[in-house]
Amino acid sequence: MANKANFKVDPKLASLLGEGYRSTEHALKELIDNAWDADATKLTVALPDAMTDSPIIVSDNGSGMTEQELLNEYLVVANDRRSRKGDQTATLKRRVKGRKGIGKFAGLMVAGIMEIETTARGRTTRVVVSKENLMNAARDLERFDLPITVRDAARDAHGTTVTLCELNQRFTFPLPEKLKGLLVVEYGREADFDVKVNGVGLGLDDLQGSSYSHNQAVPDAGAIRLSYKVADSTQVIKQAGIAIRVGGKIVGRPSFFGLEDDPEVPSKLLRKLYGEVEADSLLDGVTADWGDIVENDKAYQAIKPVIQAHIKTALSEVFAKEMNLQRARLQQQLNARLAKLPEYRQRYARLALEKVMKRFYGESEERIETVASVVLDALEKDEYWSILQHINESPGGDIEALAVALTEFGLVDMAQMANQTMSRLQLLDHLDGLVRNPATQEKTIHQIIEKNLWLLGMGYASIASNKTTAKTIQEYTDTKFSGKRASKRPDLFLAQRLSGEYLLIEFKRPSDEITRDNQRQAAEYRDDLEPRFGSIEILLLGKARDATTQPHNDLPRLKVFGYEALVSAARTQLDWLLRQLADA
């Protein structure tokens, strides 16, 4: 039987259809998430070889859809599944992954034609979506006809197959290893969801990271085989930890074997741990439901410290390597700030920075920069140095006095960070009021930002103006904008970066949007100044980017900042830091 179907449009369509996926593999994962939500227990993905015309086929044995379900639910664009059926799936009570009701379009990033064939309650429904036709009808989807056919099927048959044809040649073909790397962190531990990509299931080898393996005979416990990885990705692994396998079968949930209580092991590092230990000697300690190992089983007690030692050594190696990389990325900015402190203070400042970098391990680079900047500001206060003097004056053998002093140092450290964070937030409140006031002049904003360059980010916090650059700007504007042009004089700030490159900031009124003409004019100022100073980067600050200008068309070495967006980004980072300090 052949009919026609139509999309049913939710008002959120316009904004949601513009959302994309980071890669073709991420788009395919969306289709796999749909199978999870349909209570599938088996799923296969067939990926073609590059440079072939073969389709991608994603097939599952989930609940499938009837014709009416496909018409009234699947084709309702941007209709959140959770709002209709709740947060859990119908049969297996899984937590639903679908969020916005647009996952059905994921396949169209990869292919020009998407065919959905779904079976439920004795009927198979097939619908074909053409990306070209869909895009041509984007303004009137409710009148866009989709060919749909329905035929009889076995009464107990169920499941859905999505076939993607005419693959997008602009993108490289989805890679099996990359797709499996995405899926293993999400589904690698799921006992009731068997995923195969090109006929191969998910496993430890699919995870990107540092690999470790230990075969060892443990007294009172026999032979064990420990295999695990510490993942490279910042993505948190679902069900992280080490699973116990006895007689070929997993027992209970993965655990960290007590390392979660070790203060030397960052919790965020533990969440990157994924692996298992084979220990058949634990068979007598397995509970009747295979849900756990009896905690005081002698063999388990013998194995536990051995596994702890191996894992802690591996995590320490990864931690040291990642901290060194993080330190290296920040070192140039940190050295410039530290150099401004008296020499006798620098050693303790470095120790304090090391401590907070460990404390905030695993956070984004942007957040680490925020913390480092706040700490360095706080370290310039005198409260630290009276305590450090106490430490220096303590006799070498006076361990108790030294311990008390170091405790005080830690308390002051936290208090000063909190105070400095609050001070910055107060400044943001004041600045926010100014940039929202149409009467505010660019000179007012200039004075504030010049003295608080941390607003632009850690990379700008240590740049500095000097008499030469200030005098050059004064002479340049006096000469170029005299007489009738005096009213057009720009507000410019020139400073030197750590790399030796110069930074030119042009301040516009907070009520003025930044146009393409503004960008061209700023580039002309740079052209005039570069013969004297060399390479110059431009920051153009104003109300916001004009709606007709797109970032990808900006001139080279020129960045556009909106004042409100600048304040909002800084406030977000500081609010986060204040919450972290409150929880410490």
Residue 218 confidence (pLDDT) above 90: yes
Query: What's the CATH number where 111 sits?
Result: 3.30.565.10
Does residue 423 lie within any of the structural domains?
Answer: no
Q: Are residues 133 and 11 in the same domain?
A: yes
- 169, 218: one domain: no
DSSP 279-310: -GGGGGGB-TTSS-B-TT-HHHHHHHHHHHHH
CA distance 15 to 27: 18
Q: What is the 3-state secondary structure (H, E, C) of 158-210?
A: CEEEEEEEEECCCCCCCCHHHHHHHHHHHHCCCCCCEEEECCEECCHHHCCEE
* Whether residues 10 and 110 fall in one domain: yes
Query: What type of residue is 292?
Result: D
**Residue 426 domain-assigned?**
no
**5-22 pLDDT, tens digit each:** 655 554 344 334 434 677
Kindly state whether residues 70 and 160 are assigned to the same domain: yes
Total tally of structural domains belonging to the chain: 4
Longest dimension (CA), the chain: 95
CA-to-CA separations, 404 to 289, 346, 388, 398, 399, in angstroms, rounded: 51, 22, 11, 10, 9
Burial status of residue 349 (CB atoms within 10 A of its CB: 0-12, 13-18, 19 or more): buried
Q: Is 70 exceeded by the pLDDT of residue 326?
A: yes
Q: What is the signed CA dihedral for 133, 552, 170, 131, rounded to 10 degrees?
A: -10
Of 244, 260, 295, which one is at a domain's C-terminal end?
Answer: 295
Average pLDDT over every residue of 111-126: 94
Same-domain status, 20 and 162: yes
214 and 141, same structural domain?
A: no
CATH code: domain of residue 487? 3.40.1350
Between 407 and 315, residue with greater pLDDT: 315
Query: Quick one: 8 and 86 in the same domain?
Result: yes
- Residue 131, phi-psi category: left (phi > 0), alpha (psi -120 to 50), beta (remainder): alpha
Residues 6+ apart with CB under 8 A from 509: 440, 441, 442, 542, 543
Same domain, 216 and 197: no
Using CA atoms, how far residue 3 sits from 128, 145, 151, 162, 462, in Å, is 12, 10, 12, 20, 67
Does residue 136 sit in the same domain as residue 68? yes
Instruction: In whole angstroms, give the CA distance from residue 251 to residue 241.
Output: 13
Say if strands 558-562 and 536-542 run parallel, antiparallel, or are unpaired. parallel
Residue 560 is inside which H or E element, if any? Answer: strand 558-562
In terms of domains, do 268 and 362 share one?
A: no
Domain final residue, candidates 201, 233, 255: 201
Q: What's residue 457's pLDDT?
A: 79
- What confidence score (pLDDT) does residue 150 get? 95
Q: Is residue 274 part of a domain?
A: yes
Percent of the chain topping pLDDT 70:
82
Average pLDDT score over residue span 163-191: 89
pLDDT of residue 422: 83
For residue 71, give every residue at least 6 positions away whose Cβ sits within 8 Å of its Cβ, in sequence order, or none. 5
Q: What is the pLDDT of residue 406?
A: 42
Asked if the structure places residue 315 within a domain, the reply is no
pLDDT reading at 499 higher than 80:
no
Residue 310 included in any domain: no
Asked whether the predicted pLDDT for residue 379 surpasses 70, the reply is no
pLDDT-wise least confident of 298-312, 390-404, 525-539? 390-404
pLDDT tens, residue by residue, 28-68: 998 999 999 999 999 999 999 877 889 999 999 999 999 99
Same domain assignment for residues 188 and 213:
no
Mean pLDDT across the chain, nearest whole number?
83
> The tokens 């009276």 sit on which residue?
386
3-state secondary structure of 258: coil
Q: For the whole model, what pTM was predicted?
A: 0.59
In a domain, 87, yes or no: yes
Residues 513 and 383 in one domain: no
pLDDT at 384 over 60: no
Cβ-based burial of 183 (10 A; exposed 0-12, middle 13-18, buried ≥19): buried
Which pLDDT belongs to residue 79?
Answer: 58
- Please give the Cα distance from 132 to 18 (Å, whole number): 16
Domain that holds residue 486: 442-571
Whether 541 contacts 505, CB under 8 Å: yes
**On the CB side of 279, how many CA atoms lie within 13 Å of its CA?**
32
Res. 456 pLDDT band, cuts 50 70 90 = confident
How far CA 126 is from CA of 1, 399, 557, in Å, comes to 11, 78, 52
